[in-house]
Structure formats: structure tokens, C-alpha cells
């Protein structure tokens, strides 16, 4: 991760940015479209308990940051929402699957997720395991189903193949799952591991799927290779930013404000940015990442890039 | 499942078949090629324990029936091995992943697999869960990576998209995982569920991935839609046959002969074909399925179809 050595003084959006673009309205509209596509992608059929478990976790709310990033990256690349919706659905399914498996007693053993019982608590362990597995297959099935795309051929098969390949890499042994494994091995080492190791974990566990969301959106939207690489850098910056902000919030906010257990990271032996860098330097690092992410958008049409720019601000400024 | 009402008198291959084709040599050659491709597809990189777990389960031997079916279906459709090897690797990865997750304590809780400790016993539960997840992503990554295929463009992107879609459907909530879920729900009902329900479970839990192996091989090999449907029927017949033979062997063979616990199905409440139909009728059903599967091959070049025909015999006649 290349980081700009000159931190930007403010993570707040400039007034002009905020006025020109109704970010809240944009997020609400896109999240509603994503929720509707997710609802349609997993109908409640036989055996009901199995599909209920998938729907319980998939339709539990959440900010839908990944699918909205996917739609926004498609837009900035010249594509329409309809082209990126299968990919948006796929990344949210993979994200949900990772949460379900992560919460299992043999992993993090978390009883709550998004303010209600986690999947294995609401159903049981085997159902949660299989619901997670099924969501992975559904994700790839949806991404590779020609019926998911506009019939006008605006997303040709070579783009779909590339999107499948990207999702598999970022979610699997080169990304998310690798990060989970590295995190598991590192937990318990306390402060004995370095900033490089921490960045390795977060770049894989958190940033990889955010990066994939952006890159896949760009691919299906028809971005050039150069544009895809710029958007990949953007995705990697906001991915790491997402985690740094998470670590900061865990220290500075109460459980009530977060809607989940605060101070969990510091109470456990988990290494975090504030632990390694201190709170002030962690905040500076977050500002650098925000600035870097925005720089990647410089070559794009500013109107079309507005959602991605505001998504970066949103990830930096979120309070939970 | 449509079943011929006139059972064929013998499941043994006719002498002419056996003479014309060196099936044993064919299986050894193809399995060796598959093992080498699997070895290459999962290198032992950092973090070693994670990759070791994947390799431990993936390279544990086994008959490689699914990947060989994939190669043979590609061949009968006019393709070369090199075109189908990524798909062959992918189906074996998915098969292995399903075994790893199935053996977990929260599922079947099996301590042994292929004559040695199962993945979670050799490593631990979290590593086994993540190794299974990673194999799923690796499977799709390998299937959709252009670098996996011959550079001459003999497997165009539209075939790859169709193969991804087929694998996702047959492995997921429309196939394997659905079958595992239905099996889990049904176990404990004893004889209280019908032949139709048993067939539903086996068509999904066992037959779906065998069907996918054949169909994906046919797709990448360039089969016509009509040929794909014939080969799908063949795959479904041998898939169900595989399970019926498994059920029969569980009753008739000792643990020593099987290399796994015999009589496990009858000792548990698991419904099997011999329990529902009796041993004699189960054998007749197996013969019908073998005959049906061979009929699907009638329209293909007999020389190129020989491996599939002998694979059907092999599945019918296997003694463990």
C-alpha cells in the first residue's frame, strides 16, 4: 500500500462537494434497488428453513456499501445500474456468507449481528454453515447467469468471465479468506506483530472485497484497463480506510452508539491501528487514505465520479 | 428421473467392450494428469498451515471419478483434455470442499476420510471451515481464469460463463448443498419418508455434482445443446447409480473391504434404497440406471464414447 506522506488537513467533504450532490438520497435510492434485487435473487422456496436462513442474513439491513460501490464504479465507467446489479448482488452475498461463517462458534462465536441474533443462533450451526456455502454458489450463479443481465448484450461474456475471476480471487485464498486465516493466526500475538502484518490482514480481510466490489463494477461497466487499475487503487484505499475507521470507532465510541460491543478489540488481544500507532496517528493515516482514494478519481468525469468521491467521505466520516 | 421398466440382465461389461478399451490404463493416465493439475493449482505458499490443509484434503487420493468424467465428456464432445482440465480441477475442488464441511463436528462429525484423519482432525475446525471456503473460491477462480485454458481460444468466454453458471447451480442451493440440507432434515425420519424423497436427496446431494462434471466437460468441449442434454441425462443416471451402489455396498460389505465404517447407514436412522426397496430390487434399480445411462450415449461416436460407457460400468460394478 503506497501512502501519501503529506496528510490532507481535513477528512470533511468540502462545502461545494456536499451541495452539488445529494449523497443521502443517492444511498437510499441505490440501497433500495439492491435490497429489491437481493430479495428477488433468493426466493423463499423448499426447504423453507434453509432459504429462510439465507434471507434472514442477507436481508438483515446493513449499509450495502459494497453493492453501492459496485453500482457507482459501473456508472463512472460508462455503464448502467442494470449492468452491475448482478455483480452488486454477488458481492453482498459473499459479504454475508463471510459474516455467517465468521460468527459460527468454531470461529468468532458471535451471538449477535446487526442488532439481532446471528444466523446460527436464529437457526442452528449446520443450517448456518450450509446457508453460507449456498450464498457463495448463488453469488457466482447470479454473476454468471446471462438472464441476470440486460438482453441487449451490453455486458459481453468476456467481461463476465473477468468479473467471476476477480470475485473469486478477492474473496478466496488471495483475499478475504486468506485475511480471516491470517487474522486468526495473529490474534493472541498482541503488540508483537508489526504494522506491515496488520496491513496485510486488513488489506485481505476487509479491503479485498471492497476492492473487488469497485473493480467488478468497473469491469462490467466497460472501463479500460487503465481505469480499472485506478479504480482498484481507489478500492484498496477506501478498503483499508474502512478498517482504520472501524478500529478508531472501537476505541472512541460506546457500544450503544455503535450498535455492537465497543472496546471488543482492545479487550481482546487483537492488534489494531490505535494500539500500534496511537489514536492521533491513526486519524492522520485515515486522512491520508481518504486523500489518496480521491486522487485516483481525478481522471474521471467529475459528475459521474461524485458518488465514489462521496462514498469515500462517507467511509471516512461514519460514526458507526 | 425417468427409469426404463425393463431392467438389463447384466451390469457386467460385455467382453467386446472390455477388450476394445483399456479402461484401467485410461483411468490411471487421467487420474495422474488430474492429480498433477490439482497439485499445481494449490501451491504451498504463506500461510502454510492454511494451504497445507487444502492440499491435505485435495491431494488425499480418491478415485477422481468427477474430474475424469469431465475430461471424458469433453472428449466425446470433440474437445481436448487441455480444454476441460480447469473444469476437472474445479469439480474436484468443490467435491473436496463438500467433504471437508460435511465432516465437521457441527455436521456429520466424521473423524476419518479416505483412510486418514479428516481435515478438521488433522488441523482444526476453523482451518477446515476456511480451507473449504477457499477451495470453493479457488474452483471458480480456476474455471474463470483465461490463463487456465489453451491460448488458441478453443474455449471461448461464452462457454466459460455457461460452465460457471452450471457449476454454481449444481453445487449450490439447486444441487449439492440443497441435498445436504434435505438429507439433514430427513435423517431421523427412518422409514417414514418415501422413495421420491430419497431420490430427491440423492439426485441433489450426490448426482448433481456428477451431472455437473459431465455437463461442464461437454460445454467446454463444444457439445451442441442436444448433446449437452443427452450427457446431462447420462450424468444424472450414473449419479443416482453411484448412490444406489453405495447404499448396497454399505449392507453387503465389511468395513475392512470398504475402507470405511460399513453398516453405518443401517445402524443410523438413515433411509437407504435397500431399506425402502430391499436388496434385490435395489440391485434391479441399479441395473436399470446403468442401462439408461448407456442409452444416452447411443448417438455419439462409439470410440470417443468408450470412456463414458466404461465409467458407467465402473460405477455400477465397484466393490468399494
Instruction: Specify if A257 maps to a domain.
Output: yes
Residues ≥6 apart with Cβ < 8 Å to B48: none
Instruction: Tell me the nearest-neighbour CA distance from B55 into chain A, angstroms.
Output: 13
The pLDDT value given to residue B255: 53
Chain B CA closest to residue A98: B133
Is the pLDDT at B226 greater than 70, yes or no? yes
Nearest to B135 by CA among A171, A236, A251, A278: A171
Instruction: Specify if A9 maps to a domain.
Output: no
> Would you call A181 and B136 a contact, using CB atoms and an 8 Å cutoff?
no
Residue % of chain A over a pLDDT of 70: 87
The pLDDT value given to residue A242: 96
Least confident of A199-203, B43-47, B125-129: B43-47
Residue B163 in grid coordinates: 460452465
pLDDT one-digit tens code per residue, A19-28: 578 999 999 9
Instruction: Specify if A2 maps to a domain.
Output: no
Residue B114 in grid coordinates: 479416505
Instruction: Tell me the nearest-neighbour CA distance from B220 into chain A, angstroms.
Output: 14
| More confident: A174 or A138 | A138
Is residue A221 very low, low, confident or very high in pLDDT (cuts 50, 70, 90)?
very high
The pLDDT value given to residue B207: 95
Instruction: Specify if B135 maps to a domain.
Output: yes
> Would you call B137 and A182 a contact, using CB atoms and an 8 Å cutoff?
no
The pLDDT value given to residue A252: 86
Among the partner-chain residues A105, A161, A171, the one whose CB lies closest to the CB of B157 is A161
The pLDDT value given to residue A258: 56
The pLDDT value given to residue B208: 96
Instruction: Tell me the nearest-neighbour CA distance from A299 into chain B, angstroms.
Output: 29
Is the pLDDT at A263 greater than 80, yes or no? no
Please return the burial class of A260, using the count of CB atoms within 10 Å of its CB with bins 0-12, 13-18 and 19+: middle
> Would you call A144 and B156 a contact, using CB atoms and an 8 Å cutoff?
no
Least confident of A275-289, B37-51, B174-188: B174-188
Instruction: Specify if A79 maps to a domain.
Output: yes
Question: What's the whole-number mean pLDDT along residues B203-217?
Answer: 96
Question: What's the whole-number mean pLDDT along residues A246-274?
Answer: 70
The pLDDT value given to residue A114: 85
> Would you call B168 and A47 a contact, using CB atoms and an 8 Å cutoff?
no
B116 forms bridges with which residues in the sheet?
B113
Least confident of A306-315, B18-27, B71-80: B18-27
Instruction: Tell me the nearest-neighbour CA distance from B90 into chain A, angstroms.
Output: 12
Least confident of A2-11, A103-112, B84-93, B200-209: A2-11
Residues ≥6 apart with Cβ < 8 Å to A148: A85, A86, A89, A142
Distances in Å between the Cα of A302 and the Cα atoms of A140, A234, A310 are 32, 15, 11
pLDDT one-digit tens code per residue, B267-316: 566 788 998 899 999 999 999 999 999 999 999 999 999 999 999 999 99
The pLDDT value given to residue B268: 61
Angle, helix A125-143 to helix B125-143, in steps of 10 degrees = 10
> Would you call A181 and B50 a contact, using CB atoms and an 8 Å cutoff?
yes
Instruction: Specify if A51 maps to a domain.
Output: yes
Least confident of A46-50, B40-44, B214-218: A46-50
> Would you call A185 and B106 a contact, using CB atoms and an 8 Å cutoff?
no
Instruction: Tell me the nearest-neighbour CA distance from A185 into chain B, angstroms.
Output: 9
Is the pLDDT at A10 greater than 80, yes or no? no
The pLDDT value given to residue B4: 37
pLDDT one-digit tens code per residue, A80-115: 999 999 999 999 999 999 999 999 999 999 999 988
Question: What's the whole-number mean pLDDT along residues B184-192?
Answer: 70
Residue % of chain B over a pLDDT of 70: 87
Chain A CA closest to residue B104: A126
> Would you call B173 and A51 a contact, using CB atoms and an 8 Å cutoff?
yes
Among the partner-chain residues B104, B133, B144, the one whose CB lies closest to the CB of A165 is B144
Is residue B119 very low, low, confident or very high in pLDDT (cuts 50, 70, 90)?
very high
Question: What's the whole-number mean pLDDT along residues A55-78?
Answer: 95
- Number of domains, chain A: 1
Q: List the domain range (segments joined by +) for residue A313.
A: 15-317
Find chain A residues with C-beta within 8 A of B133's C-beta: 101, 132-133, 136, 172, 177
Q: What is the C-alpha radius of gyration for chain B, rounded to an integer number of angstroms?
A: 19
| More confident: A77 or B255 | A77
The pLDDT value given to residue B259: 55
Is residue A191 very low, low, confident or very high in pLDDT (cuts 50, 70, 90)?
low
The pLDDT value given to residue A7: 36
Element (H, E) at A31: helix A23-41
ipTM beyond cut 0.95:
no
Instruction: Specify if B2 maps to a domain.
Output: no
Is residue B257 very low, low, confident or very high in pLDDT (cuts 50, 70, 90)?
low
Nearest to A160 by CA among A86, A54, A228: A86
> Would you call A136 and B134 a contact, using CB atoms and an 8 Å cutoff?
no
Q: What is the mean pLDDT of chain B?
A: 89
| More confident: A318 or B234 | B234
Is residue B186 very low, low, confident or very high in pLDDT (cuts 50, 70, 90)?
confident
> Would you call A141 and B169 a contact, using CB atoms and an 8 Å cutoff?
yes
Q: The domain spanning residue B22 has which CATH number?
A: 1.10.600.10
Is residue B61 very low, low, confident or very high in pLDDT (cuts 50, 70, 90)?
confident
Is residue A9 very low, low, confident or very high in pLDDT (cuts 50, 70, 90)?
very low
Angle, helix B65-76 to helix B208-221, in steps of 10 degrees = 30
Least confident of A94-103, A131-140, A228-237, B16-25: B16-25
Least confident of A189-193, A210-214, B150-154: A189-193
Is the pLDDT at B30 greater than 60, yes or no? yes
Cβ B101 vs Cβ B93: under 8 Å: no
Q: How many residues make up chain A in this entry? A: 320
Strands B116-117 and B112-113, by their bridges, are: antiparallel
Find chain B residues with C-beta within 8 A of A105's C-beta: 106
Find chain A residues with C-beta within 8 A of B51's C-beta: 173
> Would you call B125 and A140 a contact, using CB atoms and an 8 Å cutoff?
no
The pLDDT value given to residue A12: 44
Residues ≥6 apart with Cβ < 8 Å to B54: A173, B42, B131, B134, B135, B138
The pLDDT value given to residue A261: 56
d(CA B101, CA A127): 12
Question: What's the whole-number mean pLDDT along residues B87-94?
Answer: 98
d(CA B138, CA A274): 34
Instruction: Specify if B12 maps to a domain.
Output: no
Is residue B10 very low, low, confident or very high in pLDDT (cuts 50, 70, 90)?
very low
pLDDT one-digit tens code per residue, A265-284: 555 667 889 988 999 999 99
Amino acid at each position: 500500500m503506497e501512502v501519501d506522506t503529506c496528510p490532507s488537513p481535513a477528512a470533511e467533504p468540502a462545502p461545494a462537494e456536499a451541495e452539488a450532490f445529494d449523497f443521502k438520497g443517492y444511498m437510499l435510492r441505490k440501497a433500495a434497488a439492491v435490497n429489491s434485487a437481493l430479495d428477488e435473487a433468493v426466493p423463499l422456496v423448499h426447504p423453507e428453513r434453509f432459504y429462510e436462513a439465507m434471507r434472514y442474513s442477507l436481508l438483515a439491513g446493513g449499509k450495502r456499501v459494497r453493492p453501492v460501490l459496485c453500482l457507482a464504479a459501473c456508472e463512472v465507467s460508462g455503464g448502467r445500474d442494470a449492468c452491475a446489479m448482478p455483480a452488486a448482488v454477488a458481492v453482498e452475498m459473499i459479504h454475508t456468507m463471510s459474516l455467517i461463517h465468521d460468527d459460527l462458534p468454531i470461529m468468532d462465536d458471535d451471538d449477535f449481528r446487526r442488532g439481532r441474533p446471528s444466523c446460527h443462533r436464529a437457526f442452528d450451526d449446520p443450517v448456518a454453515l450450509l446457508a453460507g456455502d449456498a450464498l457463495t454458489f448463488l453469488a457466482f450463479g447470479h454473476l454468471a447467469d446471462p438472464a441476470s443481465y440486460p438482453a441487449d448484450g451490453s455486458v459481453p461474456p468476456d467481461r463476465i468471465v473477468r468479473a467471476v475471476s476477480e470475485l473469486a480471487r478477492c474473496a478466496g485464498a488471495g483475499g478475504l479468506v486468506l485475511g480471516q486465516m491470517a487474522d486468526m493466526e495473529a490474534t493472541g500475538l498482541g503488540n508483537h506483530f508489526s504494522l506491515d502484518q496488520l496491513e496485510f490482514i486488513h488489506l485481505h480481510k476487509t479491503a479485498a472485497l471492497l476492492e473487488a466490489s469497485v473493480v467488478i463494477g468497473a469491469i462490467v461497466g466497460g472501463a479500460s484497463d487503465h481505469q480499472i487499475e485506478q479504480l482498484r487503487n481507489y478500492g484498496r484505499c477506501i478498503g483499508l480506510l474502512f478498517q482504520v475507521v472501524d478500529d478508531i470507532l472501537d476505541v472512541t465510541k460506546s457500544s450503544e452508539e455503535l450498535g455492537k460491543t465497543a472496546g471488543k478489540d482492545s479487550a481482546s488481544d487483537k492488534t489494531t491501528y490505535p494500539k500500534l500507532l496511537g489514536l492521533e496517528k491513526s486519524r492522520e493515516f485515515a486522512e491520508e487514505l481518504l486523500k489518496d482514494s480521491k486522487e485516483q478519481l481525478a481522471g474521471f468525469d467529475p459528475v459521474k465520479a461524485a458518488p465514489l468521491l462521496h462514498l469515500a467521505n462517507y467511509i471516512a466520516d461514519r460514526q458507526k
